[in-house]
Amino acid sequence: MDIAQQFRTFIIDNFMLGRSPDELGDDDSLLDKGIIDSTGVLELIGFIEQTFNFTVGDDELVPDNLDSVNRLIAFVTKKTKK
Amino acid sequence: MLVHNYIEQNAEKFPYKDAAVHLGGRINYLELEAAVNRLANRLIEFKLKPGDRVGLLLESSINYIIAYFAILKAGGSVVGLNSQGTIRDFRNILGDCEVSALILSKNLGHVVKEIYQDIPSMKFIVSDGSYEHYPKDIEKQFWLDIQLTGDASRPYIAQKEEDIAQIIYTSGTTGKPKGVTLSHKNLNANTTSIVKYLELKPEDRVMAILPFYYSYGNSLLLTHMYCGGSVVIDNRFAYPNVILEIMSQERVTGFSGVPSTFAILMHKSNIRNYRFDHLRYITQAGGPMTPALTQKIMEALPHLKIFIMYGQTEASARLSYLEPDKLLEKIGSIGKAIPGVQLTVKDENGKVCKPGEVGEIVASGDNIMVGYWNNPESTQKVLKEDGLHTGDLATVDGDGYIFIVSRSSDMIKSGAHRISPKEIEEVIAEFPGIIESAVIGVPDEILGEALVAYIVIKDKIDQKELRKHLRLNLAPFKMPGEIIEVEALPKTQSGKIRKFELVEQHRQKART
């Protein structure tokens, strides 16, 4: 499964139960669309750390890194390239 | 004084001062009063009658503030709703208090379509944009039109302090939400008391991350609108670093949160990189905070006054506070009654307890609710001759400081929310193949308590489908983090589920 699919599956299975997967565009803000809240962000970080094997620093916990599928892909790609 | 008079007074005293800031947008008191008047006049024009309930389905925003005060000014009562709620929640709440109108964001337009038929009292909606599926036969007003063409003169509707200003729905122990009914007098008494002990001044600017529909968030709004201060609204606490940056940019003087807010700030943010020279105080309410977390906050922000507070929605929010200079000496205490409130700890016979004895906290004062909307039976259970019976058990020490021992009700405090396990158990029971279930709160470093559901099943069930069913019928914060299948639930001889045993089992499992 590619990174995009992994994120989509995780988000749909955990935060979008009962909602149509079509509602999740790859550039959509997870926060603005009411998909994620503060607890959800912590779960998302746990998923990233377990799946991609790196620690998300406190200063990396910002919307630019985490608030859409495309931003998540860019963040994980940048971190795992190092 | 009526609650909407706050805006009128400050429009005269501080016309060009920020009343609210949100995502770069600002509104001063003069502009706020004009916007409030335009909407209030339109509500009156559309035959909103004194005492009519108006649902407010907007996220915390400048528009929320305008709508809140406009409803009051037009003589109505505000019913704020959590926009993360489900259709079932909206139907139950708006139907219970028979709203006449709904003010909502166009993003939630589908709600109108879903519930319109079930709420015959609902005559019109005000929306901040068009939505293609709004039913044709409902009267619609659009925000922009009202604000561009509306009449900004101050309307006058005769009102008394005893009139109902707001109904705040809280989870009830029976699973059915209860509408805490508050008069102008209730809200005003609590607002002026909080302003007094926090020493709020027009220079104060509070960072408002708590939703306004929630009683703690509501009190942040009212106290700052009363004192001529400013609310800096931001709903992005999911990214705490964003909030810290806004606090610094906007030079906020106050910050308020529940225990999980501070747990997230201390464990998952850059808070230690900031100095916050303008920040004067923080307040914490919404459940007990561990002494270890309090200590961490004191170390990270040593120059701040930390107010630990206690209250209930039934008390318009606040009942007690611990003075910041007593924080170390009386750690774990909820302090003493706020000005204008009397708190006593009484035993089962109604006798005031001696220091060290355990009894129930009973509160009286002008801030205590009128009752639960449309629910005299529940009202009688908590509102008695001597005041509000909080259900919380406590002791008082020799100096008069109150320490909560336990909450006598079954409610779970998770994050900012007070959650009825019964409500979740009822939704679980609707799923085919479930014999019975028990929902408990287990200790959680961030949330205070996390939800765990124990289920007994007939045959194999698909947990993914069960979760889907729960999510469709429960707000996200009511979703159990864990669902554990067991053969049977531990019970007393009379058949009552021994939930404390499940909590202990879970705790032991977590240790191993």
How far A16 CA lies from chain B's nearest CA (Å)?
8
Report pLDDT digits (tens) over B490-500. 876 656 678 88
Q: Find which of A16, A36, A38 to mutate to test the B interface (most B CBs within 10 Å of its CB).
A: A38
Point out the residue among A13, A38, A59 whose CB comes nearest to the CB of B238. Answer: A38
Please name each of the domains of chain B with its CATH number: 8-12+23-159 (3.40.50.980), 188-407 (3.40.50.12780), 412-511 (3.30.300.30)
pLDDT of residue B494: 58
CA-wise closest residue to B451 among B486, B503, B407 = B503
Whether the CB-CB separation of B223 and B198 falls below 8 Å is answered with yes
Of B66-70, B80-84, B141-145, B463-467, which one has max mean pLDDT? B66-70
Chain A residues closer than 8 Å to B472 by CB: 17-18
Q: What is the pTM of this model?
A: 0.88
Confirm or reject contact between B477 and chain A (CB < 8 A): yes
d(CA B494, CA B491): 8
Confirm or reject contact between B82 and chain A (CB < 8 A): no
DSSP state of B28: E
Report pLDDT digits (tens) over B37-63. 999 999 999 989 999 999 999 999 999
Structure tokens at B206: 């509070």
Beta strand B254-257 with B205-208: parallel, antiparallel or unpaired? parallel
pLDDT of residue B128: 87
Q: Find which of A11, A39, A62, A65 to mutate to test the B interface (most B CBs within 10 Å of its CB).
A: A39
Q: How far apart are the first and last CA of chain B?
A: 58
ipTM for the predicted complex comes to 0.87
Report pLDDT digits (tens) over B336-345. 999 999 999 9
Report pLDDT digits (tens) over A16-52. 876 788 888 999 999 988 888 887 888 899 899 999 9
Whether the CB-CB separation of B92 and B118 falls below 8 Å is answered with no
**Burial (CB count <10 Å: 0-12, 13-18, 19+), residue B202:** middle
Point out the residue among B241, B415, B476 whose CB comes nearest to the CB of A59. Answer: B241
CA B272 distance to own-chain centroid: 28
A17 contacts B477? CB cut-off 8 A: no
pLDDT of residue B173: 54
Structure tokens at B76: 């109505």
HEC profile of B432-459: CCEEEEEEEEEEECCCEEEEEEEEEECC
Chain B residues closer than 8 Å to A58 by CB: 241, 268-270
Report pLDDT digits (tens) over B186-217. 999 999 999 999 999 999 999 999 999 999 99
Average of per-residue pLDDT across A48-58: 92
A38 contacts B240? CB cut-off 8 A: yes
Show Cβ contacts of residue B367 under 8 Å, excluding neighbours closer than 6 positions. Answer: B186, B187, B189, B190, B193, B315, B316, B317, B318, B319, B340, B341
Q: What residue has token string 């590619």?
A: A2
More confident: B293 or B13? B13
Residue contacts between A and B (CB atoms, under 8 Å): 60
CATH architecture of the region A24-81 = Orthogonal Bundle (1.10)
Average of per-residue pLDDT across B246-251: 97
Residues of A with a Cβ under 8 Å from any B Cβ are: 13, 15, 17-18, 31, 34, 36-42, 45, 58-59, 61-63, 66-67
Q: Is the pLDDT of residue B171 over 80?
A: no
d(CA B15, CA B125): 30
Report pLDDT digits (tens) over B346-403. 998 999 999 999 899 999 999 999 999 999 999 999 999 999 999 898 999 999 999 9
Please state the domain extents for chain A: 24-81
